[in-house]
């Protein structure tokens, strides 16, 4: 098979650093320890917060009386707070922490500019708190506040619900973080670049671009009526497909060879997979707008683009899964790899559902149901969140030069996250298909559909609850990591020796 021969011919960036080995790594890690921990702390916090909101929203669908009299926690507010804190809180902080760590490590030299990163990420997180409170406050303000800049009512665009005045602050702080990434890449010692670096740079650039475009076209110079719907969905699709997914892909490309000690199978297909992913995924979102009040050809383009994703998806599937399965016995013992294995499987399933969901015939059934939320959560929680979790365990012990404080907690995190995602996503997807069949395919009253779907709503809540337990286990685990005292072995700095697995890639 071609791919097997590719193992041998895999393109590897050459080693050209001056300092070698653990000493360099240690000096790199020390140079970024402070800002990176500054991102992992809020990440762990947001992970728990977002799932608390997710759980509240989910419970409200089967028991609407739950926290029912509290205006701040009405369903229409907790639901967007869940999504926004999940994405901009947990996935952005965790994803960027992983991405920056691998940029620094692959660059091969200690990094300065920590101040820039620390300031930007602090502003990002503070702005996020304010923005989410803005969503929650949406209604408590008297009507005549509507003219004021601060609270103008929740915006109805997916993942852009935060008050408009927050957007420039978020963008500026993101650009600060992105600049840090760019400088790190520029100052690298190893001139050759590796797939992980492309994905990180691309994701940084893509977010700055789509966020600016969406803000201008929705808020500063709003486009007309139904076109806002188009811009909003273009943004949300791209946020998922060309910002968050690439960050997670970067981690997979880095972690697999590192932790397994073998190169990625078929690595030389990575360039084509990279470009085709961005070309197709950035156009595929409009498939869901089918039969809406927008030009029909736009959705047709979306459907075609969604099919284009098949190519990079196949490449990723073959690369990741063959690399993993070639070393299957080692996966189970390494926690990070177990996360990555299930994350990769989650990604393939996500991609398949994404393409399936863009078919005309699927949309006829599933449009406006929980199906598409299920697919999005599969990508966000089943893929990105799994990968980032595994990667964080991998980098934390290196950053802090400590051993995992409690294997049991990490196991709980793993199993809760896995079972929670399975329950949540399967209830949203299968429940969504059933919901759609009743909503779109019959005239059964909405009231009886709601009653009919109750068991799915309960299942989704259970899934959210399990995920929340997992997130809490991660938070506790991380806190122990931070505060545990170092053992003698850890003190001497030899904990992470030059194990063969770390020699597999650049640094």
Q: Applying CB under 8 A, does 368 fall inside the site for another protein?
A: yes
Partner interacting with residue 218 (select from ligand HEC, another protein, none; CB below 5-8 Å by kind):
another protein
For the CB of residue 63, give the shortest distance to ligand HEC in the complex, in Å. 11
Kindly tell me which residue out of 39, 56, 201, 355 binds another protein, with binding defined by CB under 8 A: 201
266: Cα within 13 Å, side-chain hemisphere:
21
Report yes or no: 401 and 486 within 8 Å, Cβ to Cβ: yes
Partner interacting with residue 210 (select from another protein, ligand HEC, none; CB below 5-8 Å by kind):
another protein
Q: Applying CB under 6 A, does 447 fall inside the site for ligand HEC?
A: yes
Q: Applying CB under 6 A, does 72 fall inside the site for ligand HEC?
A: no
Which of the residues 167 through 196 are near another protein (CB under 8 A)? 182, 185-186, 191-193
CA dihedral 451, 457, 461, 466 (to 10 degrees): 130
Report yes or no: 242 and 192 within 8 Å, Cβ to Cβ: no
- Burial class of residue 241 in the structure, from the number of CB atoms within 10 Å of its CB (0-12 exposed, 13-18 middle, 19+ buried): buried
Q: Applying CB under 6 A, does 143 fall inside the site for ligand HEC?
A: no
* Nearest C-alpha neighbor of 107 from the set 17, 201, 198: 17
Separation between Cα atoms, residue 108 and residue 27, nearest integer Å: 10
Separation between Cα atoms, residue 159 and residue 235, nearest integer Å: 8
Question: Tokens representing 456?
Answer: 């799915």
Kindly tell me which residue out of 115, 446, 491, 492 binds another protein, with binding defined by CB under 8 A: 446
Q: How many CB atoms lie within 10 A of CB 97?
A: 27
Kindly tell me which residue out of 446, 448, 455, 489 binds ligand HEC, with binding defined by CB under 6 A: 446
Q: Applying CB under 6 A, does 66 fall inside the site for ligand HEC?
A: no
Q: Applying CB under 6 A, does 130 fall inside the site for ligand HEC?
A: no
For the CB of residue 74, give the shortest distance to ligand HEC in the complex, in Å. 7
Taking phi over 0 as left and psi of -120 to 50 as alpha, with beta for the rest, 387 belongs to alpha
DSSP secondary structure letter of residue 140: T
**Which x/- pattern over 105-144 shows residues binding another protein (rule: CB under 8 A)?**
------------------------------x--xx---x-
Number of residues that bind another protein (CB under 8 A): 95
DSSP secondary structure letter of residue 402: -
Report yes or no: 417 and 467 within 8 Å, Cβ to Cβ: yes
Which of the residues 450 through 489 are near ligand HEC (CB under 6 A)? 450
Report yes or no: 468 and 55 within 8 Å, Cβ to Cβ: yes
| CB closer to ligand HEC out of 53 and 342 | 53
Considering only 261-269, 325-333, 355-363, 443-451, which stretch makes contact with ligand HEC by CB under 6 A? Answer: 443-451
Q: Applying CB under 8 A, does 253 fall inside the site for another protein?
A: no
Question: Tokens representing 464?
Answer: 């959210």
| CB closer to another protein out of 34 and 275 | 275
For the CB of residue 282, give the shortest distance to another protein in the complex, in Å. 4
| CB closer to ligand HEC out of 60 and 105 | 60
Report yes or no: 154 and 76 within 8 Å, Cβ to Cβ: yes
Kindly tell me which residue out of 7, 10, 72, 76 binds ligand HEC, with binding defined by CB under 6 A: 76
Considering only 98-106, 281-289, 345-353, 480-488, which stretch makes contact with another protein by CB under 8 A? Answer: 281-289
Report yes or no: 4 and 266 within 8 Å, Cβ to Cβ: no
Site residues (vs ligand HEC, CB under 6 A)? 75-76, 446-447, 450
């Amino acid at each position: 098979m071609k791919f097997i021969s590719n193992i041998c011919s895999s393109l590897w960036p050459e080693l050209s650093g001056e300092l070698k080995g653990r000493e360099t790594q240690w000096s790199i890690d020390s140079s970024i320890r402070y800002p990176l921990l500054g991102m992992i702390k809020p990440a762990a916090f947001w992970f728990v917060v977002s799932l608390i909101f997710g759980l509240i929203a989910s419970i409200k669908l089967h028991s609407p009386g739950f926290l029912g009299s509290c205006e701040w926690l009405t369903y229409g507010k907790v639901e967007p707070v869940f999504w926004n804190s999940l994405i901009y809180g947990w996935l952005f902080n965790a994803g960027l922490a992983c991405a920056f760590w691998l940029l620094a490590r692959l660059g091969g030299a200690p990094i300065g500019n920590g101040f820039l990163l620390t300031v930007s990420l602090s502003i990002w997180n503070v702005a996020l708190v304010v923005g989410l409170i803005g969503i929650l406050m949406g209604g408590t303000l008297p009507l005549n506040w509507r003219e004021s800049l601060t609270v103008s009512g929740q915006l109805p665009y997916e993942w852009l619900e935060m008050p408009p005045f927050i957007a420039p602050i978020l963008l500026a702080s993101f650009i600060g973080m992105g600049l840090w990434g760019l400088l790190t890449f520029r100052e690298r010692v190893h001139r050759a670049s590796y797939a992980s670096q492309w994905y990180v740079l691309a994701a940084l650039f893509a977010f700055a671009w789509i966020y600016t475009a969406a803000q201008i076209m929705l808020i500063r110079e709003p486009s007309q009526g139904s076109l806002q719907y188009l811009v909003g969905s273009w943004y949300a699709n791209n946020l998922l497909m060309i910002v968050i997914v690439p960050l997670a892909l970067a981690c997979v490309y880095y972690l697999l060879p590192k932790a397994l000690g073998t190169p990625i199978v078929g690595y030389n297909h990575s360039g084509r997979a990279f470009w085709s992913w961005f070309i197709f995924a950035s156009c595929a979102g409009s498939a869901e707008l089918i039969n809406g009040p927008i030009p029909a050809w736009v959705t047709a383009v979306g459907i075609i683009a969604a099919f284009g994703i098949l190519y990079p998806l196949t490449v990723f599937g073959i690369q990741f899964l063959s690399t993993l399965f070639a070393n299957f016995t080692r996966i189970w013992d390494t926690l990070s790899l177990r996360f990555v294995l299930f994350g990769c499987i989650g990604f393939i399933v996500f991609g398949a559902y994404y393409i399936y969901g863009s078919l005309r015939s699927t949309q006829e059934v599933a449009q406006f149901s929980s199906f598409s939320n299920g697919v999005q959560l599969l990508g966000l929680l089943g893929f990105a969140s799994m990968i980032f979790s595994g990667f964080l365990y991998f980098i934390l012990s290196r950053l802090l030069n400590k051993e995992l404080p409690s294997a049991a907690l990490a196991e709980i995190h793993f199993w809760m996250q896995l079972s929670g995602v399975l329950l949540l996503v399967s209830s949203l997807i299968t429940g969504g298909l059933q919901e759609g069949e009743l909503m779109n395919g019959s005239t059964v009253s909405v009231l009886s559909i709601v009653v009919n779907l109750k068991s799915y709503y309960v299942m989704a809540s259970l899934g959210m609850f399990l995920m929340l337990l997992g997130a809490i286990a991660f938070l506790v685990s991380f806190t122990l990591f931070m505060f545990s005292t170092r053992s003698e072995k850890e003190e001497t700095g030899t904990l992470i020796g030059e194990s063969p697995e770390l020699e597999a890639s650049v640094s």
